[in-house]
Amino acid sequence: MSYNKKSIEDIDVKGKKVIVRVDFNVPLDANKNITDDKRIVGALPTIKYLVSKGAKTILVSHLGRPKNGFEDKFSMKPTAVRLSELLGKSVIMASDVIGEDAKAKAAALKDGEVLMLENVRFHKEEEKNDPAFAKELSTLAEIYVNDAFGTAHRAHASTAGLADYLPAVCGYLIQKEIDIMGKALSNPARPFVAILGGAKVSDKIAVIENLIDKVDTLIIGGGMAYTFVKAQGYGVGTSICEADKVDLAKSLLEKAEKKGVKLLLPVDNKVGKEFNNDTESKTVASTEIPDDFMGLDIGPKSIELFSNVLKSAKTVVWNGPMGVFEFPNFAIGTKEVAKAVAESGAISIVGGGDSAAAVEQLGYADKITHISTGGGASLEFLEGKVLPGIDVLLDK
């Protein structure tokens, strides 16, 4: 997949009708108040650029998982209201997606005006990437902009299908993802260090396999580390461990060694008797986890080891917590790694909800080069997969 894609700045949008796939899938409370508007704020640079260039902007998004056509609780209306406030200009709301109202309002747009379509998933054809639906949607506009990274790993009508009918470019959010992640994966500044954590090896096998070919050092922490500790022949007590993945872990350890990639595991752990914050706990070496204890966080020596490696890194990719960070007593490893990533001075990319939340909560967000917004999409990116929503865009 080429990472060299045309963006909104590479195409003349003045006076043109531009349909933009945004990710306004925001959380709403029972009264349909938006409880977190980060995704709308994130789309502002692209929308403001189009408005400033005199484009007629038509926004399309999904929200939630509607099953049977129109349902008021999944209406995009609250997002249009919030966007109006953020833009300081009124956003026109259509009552449908490809119906009479959307068509009439799109046709009547003046330069610099913004129209929000209804929830694209009110049509089941969206997720099927139905060509007739994509074609009908495309008739509203002259240019297609994809700026929804969170759905870029899905080939839906509004995330990929539109590119069959309209010249397709990316907005600033997707551009940043491909510029930074794409460069890190294809031509990284070295040493390139990846840190993977989280509960399960099985969720991240493809990521490990792809990164092993690219990184200088691979650090594995969190629950998934115990399958590797087991593969090295040590007991892991009652730690989370995937018995059916031990052989795979063994072969990954061998592969890393053959390739000259340093694969680092925790050397010590904070272990607990039970899975709760206040359980009896102690710090033990990875070679000495007692039978009746479980690893719930990496220990101080591991923190020091991992932090030292991060200090000399030039590119860092981090995905997944180092322990059960939901329990404050077992959140130290994740917090210290967040700090080390932030202070590394490296090009740093943090993906995955938990690691992104950790750097944000700890106030390190502005020291991270890029916090990837799409959970599933950023994992697939790290797996080296082709993301349909990016693949369909015009090459530079």
Q: Which residues bind ligand AMP (CB under 6 A)?
A: 198-200, 203, 222-223, 240, 295-296, 320-321, 323-324, 326, 352, 354
Shortest approach of ligand AMP to residue 245 CB, angstroms? Answer: 13
Burial of 68 (0-12, 13-18, 19+ CB in 10 A): exposed
Comparing CB distances to ligand AMP, the nearer of 15 and 376 is: 376
From 5, 21, 39, 176, active-site residue: 39
By the 8 A CB rule, do 147 and 177 touch? no
Q: In what order do the strands lie in the sheet with 143-146?
A: 91-93, 114-116, 56-60, 17-21, 143-146, 168-170
Q: Could you give the CA distance from residue 220 to residue 201 in angstroms, rounded to a whole number?
A: 10
Shortest approach of ligand AMP to residue 115 CB, angstroms? Answer: 37
Is-catalytic flag, 351?
Answer: no
From 6, 183, 200, 301, active-site residue: 200
Q: Could you give the CA distance from residue 144 to residue 147 in angstroms, rounded to a whole number?
A: 10
For 105, which DSSP code? H
Comparing CB distances to ligand AMP, the nearer of 296 and 359 is: 296
Comparing CB distances to ligand AMP, the nearer of 101 and 274 is: 274
Give SS3 for 187: coil
Q: What's the token pair of residue 368?
A: 């991270």
Give SS3 for 207: helix
Comparing CB distances to ligand AMP, the nearer of 87 and 199 is: 199
Q: Could you give the CA distance from residue 150 to residue 360 in angstroms, rounded to a whole number?
A: 18
Is-catalytic flag, 376?
Answer: yes
Q: Which amino acid is at 367?
A: K
Q: Give Cα separations from 185 to 1, 58, 124, 207 (angstroms).
A: 12, 33, 35, 12
Comparing CB distances to ligand AMP, the nearer of 112 and 300 is: 300
Helix, strand, coil percent content, the chain, rounded in steps of 5: 40, 15, 45
Length of the chain: 396
Comparing CB distances to ligand AMP, the nearer of 169 and 194 is: 194
Indicate the residue whose CB is closest to ligand AMP.
198
Comparing CB distances to ligand AMP, the nearer of 190 and 282 is: 282
Give SS3 for 74: helix
Shortest approach of ligand AMP to residue 353 CB, angstroms? Answer: 7
CA 290, 294, 298, 299: dihedral to nearest 10 degrees?
Answer: -40
DSSP sequence for 218-239:
EEE-STTHHHHHHHTT---TTS
By the 8 A CB rule, do 297 and 332 touch? yes
Closest by CA position to 79, among listed 148, 154, 16: 148
Shortest approach of ligand AMP to residue 306 CB, angstroms? Answer: 14
Q: Which residues are catalytic?
A: 39, 200, 353, 376
